[in-house]
Amino acid sequence: MKLNELYEQVCTKKGIEKKLSELYSQKSRLEGKINLLKSKYDKEQKDVDRLEKVSLSALFYSLTGRKDEMLDKETREMLRAKAEYDAAVFQLDGITRDISRYVQQKFDIKDCEEQYEAVLKEKLQSMGENDENILKMNNRLAESEVVCRELNEAIVAGRKARDKAVQADRNLNSADGWAMFDVFGGGIVADAMKYSRMDSAQNIIYEMQQELSRFKTELADVDIHTDIDMYIGDFLRLADFMWDNIFTDVAVMNKIQNARTKIFEVITHLDKAICNLENMEKQEKEKQSALKQSLEQLAMEKDIQ
Q: What is the mean pLDDT of each successive set of 10 residues along the chain, which is 305 residues long?
A: 80 88 88 88 76 48 49 68 81 89 91 83 62 77 86 92 90 78 68 73 82 85 56 48 52 78 87 90 88 70 50
**Number of domain units in the chain:** 2
CATH of the domain at 4: 1.20.120
Q: Evaluate whether residue 9 is within a structural domain.
A: yes
Q: Which of 72, 95, 112 is the last residue of a domain?
A: 112
Q: Which residues contact 276 (CB under 8 A, 6 or more apart)?
A: 224, 225, 228
CA distance 221 to 226: 12
108 with 159, same domain: the answer is: no
For residue 149, the enclosing domain spans 141-294
Give me the pLDDT at residue 183, please. Answer: 66
What is the torsional sign of CA 277, 278, 279, 281? positive
In-domain check, residue 171: yes
Contact 51, 61 (CB under 8 A): yes
Q: What single string gives the DSSP state of each residue in 45-66?
A: HHHHHHHHS--HHHHHHHHTT-
pLDDT of residue 11: 85
Q: What is the pTM of this model?
A: 0.65
Local structure of 126: helix, strand or coil: coil
